[in-house]
Structure 1
Amino acid sequence: IKFCFIDLFKTRNEKEFYEYFAGEVIKASYSKWEERLEKTKVFFKHLIPKFSFGVDPTQEFSVSLDWEEVQKHPQEILDLPEVISKEKGIHLIICLDEFQNIAHFNDSLGFQKKLRASWQTHQHCSYAIYGSKQHMMTEIFEKKSMPFYKFGEILFLPKIDNKHWSSFIVKRFKKTGKSISLKNASKIAAMVDNHPYFVQQLANTIWISTHEKCGEDEIEKGLKNLLNQYDLIFSRELDGLSNLQLNLLKAIANNEEKLSSKDTIKKYDLSSSASVNRSKEALIQKEIIDTFQQKITFLDPLFKIWFKTIYLK
C-alpha cells in the first residue's frame, strides 16, 4: 500500500487540478526523478507533459500540461492511479483533502462526471475523499442528482480532542526551546473550537509572541496580532450581508438556540421565522455558518472571535 496526499485548498480550476493530481500521483509512486520521467512517457499516450524540478528533485517536482490536449484526453490523468497500481503491483490510496473546492470550478458538474466515470472503474487503487465544509461535502455525496451520489461510504469525523491538541502544542513549543503549560495549550485550542487549521495558526502566532515562556499576556498578544491580520478580510465579509443576515449572525454569536422563536425574532429584529430560514440558508451558502450535529456554528472560529470581541463591541 502506498499513500498519495493531495490538498485541493488552493486549486481553483480543472487545469490546476489535472497538473497537481498528475504530479502528486507520480511523485508518490516513484522516488527517483529519472524513473518519473521514464514512466510518465509510457503512461501518457496523447499528452506531452513538461516537468519542473527544484533543489531537491525527489520532493520539488511538478507537471505542466497543454490544456487543449488535456481537455481531449483527461482520462489519461484520471486513470494514472489505476495504471500505476497495476504496473507496480501495489495498491495506491489517493487522499484528496478539501475536495469541496471542486464546486468552485467552471462547469463543476461536468468535471465531477468525468471523475466519477473514471474512478468508479478502478479496481487496484482506492480514494479517501475529505473536506472541512460539511454542507458542501454533503451536497456532493448525498444529493441524488449529483455525480458522486453513493460513490462510497460516508463518515462524519469528530474534531480532534482538546487533550491531543494540548500535548501537541506543548511538544512543539518545547522542541524550539520555549515552554507553555498544558493548561494554556488547552486554552489556545479551545479558543478556536479545536479546529485543526486554526489551532495551528493561532498557536504559531502565539509562539512568535513568546520569548521563553508562554503565559496569559503572550496568548492575548498573539490572538490580537492574528485578529489584526484578518480585520480587513472579515470586514469585507460582512459588507456583503443584509441586515437580516447580520442580525441572525448576532443571535448565533450569542449562542441563541431557538432562532425561530418569537422572543429571539423580536430581540434581534429578524422579521419572521421564514426570514430566519432564508437568512440561515444564505449564510450557509456564503460559507459563514454551517450545521454540525444539529447545531449551527461559525465555519471560521477566528471570525467568530473577531465578530464578538471587535465588531459587536
Structure 2
Amino acid sequence: MPFKFGKVVQDDFFVNRESEIHHISNLLGSGINVTLISPRRWGKSSLLFKIGREMEKKNPGVRFCFIDLFQTRSEEEFYAYFATEVIRASYSKWDERMEQTKNFFKQIIPRFSFGLDPQEQFSLSFDWEEVKRHPNEILDLPEKISIQKNIRLIVCLDEFQNIAHYDEDLAFQKKLRAVWQRHQHCTYALYGSKQHMMAELFENKSMPFYKFGEILFLDKIDNDHWRRYISRKFRKSDKKISAKLAGKVADLVDNHPYFVQQLANAVWLHTDEVCTEDEIKQGLNHLLTQYDMFFSREVDMLSNLQLNLLKAIAWGEDQLTAKSTIKKYKLSSSASVIRSREALVQKEVIDIFNQRIEFLDPLFGLWIRSTYQKP
C-alpha cells in the first residue's frame, strides 16, 4: 500500500514537519524539556520517533527511550514500566541489563522476567512497599544512566495526561517534578492527545509541571505538502492524480494526518489508472459505510441538543450562539450551546483549534452531513 495509517509513520510515509523537527531537535539536544500537545492521530509519536532516529544517527552520545503511558493505570504500574523501558533503551544485552540494574538499586530489589527472546521479552517488577519508601531510585534512573554511560538519554513519555487518572495523582506529579527538575544529563519529552488535560497539567500555575519545559502545540500539515505527497505516491505506484484532486482529498478531511493517509489509500484502491472526482467519491463513501455502525453508536450516546450542535458544526455554522443558528438547529439557548459544546469537548468528539471548532474525527462530520438533511 502506498499510504500508511494506524501505525507510527516513518521514512517515505512521513510528510514534512521540517521546522518542527529542527526546533524540537535543538531543544532536546540542548537539554531543554519539551511538552508537545495535539489531538490524537496528528502524528506526535511519528514525529518524535523520526527526531529520535535522526538525532541518534548524527550523535552516538544521544539515546532515546520511548514510553507509552496509555498502558499504565496506577503509580505502581508506572514505576515498573518506566524502569523496564529505561533499562531496555540503555542496554542492549540481557546480561548487561541484569548486571547494571543491580548496581543502580540499593534500597529496592528488582525482579527480572525474560521470555523466549531475552533481548526483547524483558521486564522488571518491584515490591510495591519498597518502591513507596524509595521511589527516587527509579525516577533517577535516566540521570544515573546518562552519567554512567556519558550519554544524553532523552525519555519520551506518550499519553502523559494518563497520570491524572492515578490515585493521588497530584502527589505523584509532585514526586516526578521534584526529581526530574534536578536532572542535568538527561532530557524529557512529554506529549499527549487530550488537549484540555495536557493544557491543565502544564499551563495551570498551580500544577506541579507548570513551566517544566517549552510547550509546543502541533499544527496540521499544510495542504500544499499533502498535495505533493499524494501525487508522488500515486506516481510511484503507476497511477495518476492531479494536484488539484490530491489537494481535495486532504481538504475533505481537514488535512488531518491520519485521515488524509486513510482517505488517500481508499481513493487509491478505487483508482485503476487515473483518479477522477468519481474515485474520490467512491473512496469516501467506502469509508463512511465502513464506519456507519460506529458513528451510529456514537450518536446514540449523545443528547438531542448535542447532536443538533454537531449538525450545526458539520454544516459550517460559525456563529453557534447567534439567535438565527439556535432557531435553525433547535439549540434551545446560548447557554445550552455552551454546555453542549463543553460536553462534546470532554467526550473528545470536537475540540477548538485557533478559535475554530472542529471534529476530532473529520469523517464523523462528513458522515453527519451525509446522514442528516441540512435544516
- Taking structure 1 as the reference length, the TM-score comes to 0.83
Alpha carbons of structure 1 residues 310 and 258: separation in structure 2 relative to 1, 3 Å: same
Residue identity in the other structure for 2:315: N
Cα pair 2:80 2:126 within 8 Å, conserved: no
- 2:189 corresponds in structure 1 to 128
Cα pair 2:75 2:166 within 8 Å, conserved: yes
Distance in structure 2 (CA, Å) of the matches to 1:236 and 1:93: 41
Match runs of 1:174-193 below 5 Å: 177=237, 179-181=239-241, 183=243, 184-193=245-254
**Structure 1 gap ranges (5+):** none
Query: What SS does the aligned partner of 1:164 have?
Result: helix
- 2:213 corresponds in structure 1 to 152
Distance in structure 2 (CA, Å) of the matches to 1:54 and 1:206: 42
Distance in structure 2 (CA, Å) of the matches to 1:43 and 1:108: 26
**1:200 aligns with one of 261, 268, 272:** 261
Alpha carbons of structure 1 residues 94 and 247: separation in structure 2 relative to 1, 3 Å: same
Alpha carbons of structure 1 residues 27 and 310: separation in structure 2 relative to 1, 3 Å: farther
Cα pair 1:15 1:67 within 8 Å, conserved: no
The one-character-per-residue Cα deviations of 1:166-207 (angstroms, maximum 9, x if unpaired) are 4444555666x4545363443333232222233334444555
Residue identity in the other structure for 2:275: G
- 1:234 corresponds in structure 2 to 295
Distance in structure 2 (CA, Å) of the matches to 1:212 and 1:186: 19
Match runs of 1:1-313 below 5 Å: 1-45=62-106, 46-52=108-114, 60-66=120-126, 68-69=128-129, 70-170=131-231, 177=237, 179-181=239-241, 183=243, 184-206=245-267, 209=269, 213=273, 215-216=275-276, 218-310=279-371
**Structure 2 gap ranges (5+):** 1-61
Alpha carbons of structure 1 residues 26 and 166: separation in structure 2 relative to 1, 3 Å: farther
Between the two proteins, the alignment pairs up a number of residues equal to 309
Distance in structure 2 (CA, Å) of the matches to 1:47 and 1:198: 46
Alpha carbons of structure 1 residues 308 and 103: separation in structure 2 relative to 1, 3 Å: farther
Higher relative contact order (CA 8 A, sep 6+): 2
Moved more, 60-69 or 120-129: 60-69
Alpha carbons of structure 1 residues 288 and 126: separation in structure 2 relative to 1, 3 Å: same
What is the CA-CA distance between 1:50 and the residue it aligns to? 2.8
Cα pair 1:179 1:213 within 8 Å, conserved: yes
Distance in structure 1 (CA, Å) of the matches to 2:311 and 2:167: 34
What is the CA-CA distance between 1:210 and the residue it aligns to? 5.2
Distance in structure 2 (CA, Å) of the matches to 1:117 and 1:86: 19
Query: What SS does the aligned partner of 1:275 have?
Result: helix
The one-character-per-residue Cα deviations of 1:211-268 (angstroms, maximum 9, x if unpaired) are 7647345544443443344333332322222222221111111111111111111111
- 2:43 corresponds in structure 1 to none
Moved more, 293-302 or 212-221: 212-221
Alpha carbons of structure 1 residues 182 and 87: separation in structure 2 relative to 1, 3 Å: farther
Distance in structure 1 (CA, Å) of the matches to 2:274 and 2:132: 53
- Taking structure 2 as the reference length, the TM-score comes to 0.71
The one-character-per-residue Cα deviations of 1:105-134 (angstroms, maximum 9, x if unpaired) are 444434323322221221211112223332
Residue identity in the other structure for 1:237: E
Alpha carbons of structure 1 residues 233 and 99: separation in structure 2 relative to 1, 3 Å: farther
What is the CA-CA distance between 1:292 and the residue it aligns to? 1.1
The one-character-per-residue Cα deviations of 1:45-98 (angstroms, maximum 9, x if unpaired) are 41424344575x65x344242463545544333222111111111112222233
Distance in structure 1 (CA, Å) of the matches to 2:72 and 2:95: 27
What is the CA-CA distance between 1:305 and the residue it aligns to? 2.2
Alpha carbons of structure 1 residues 302 and 96: separation in structure 2 relative to 1, 3 Å: farther
The one-character-per-residue Cα deviations of 1:129-187 (angstroms, maximum 9, x if unpaired) are 22333222211111233222222222223222223334444555666x45453634433
Distance in structure 1 (CA, Å) of the matches to 2:302 and 2:164: 22
What is the CA-CA distance between 1:18 and the residue it aligns to? 3.5
Distance in structure 2 (CA, Å) of the matches to 1:129 and 1:11: 15
Residue identity in the other structure for 1:50: F
Cα-Cα RMSD: 3.0
Cα pair 1:7 1:96 within 8 Å, conserved: yes
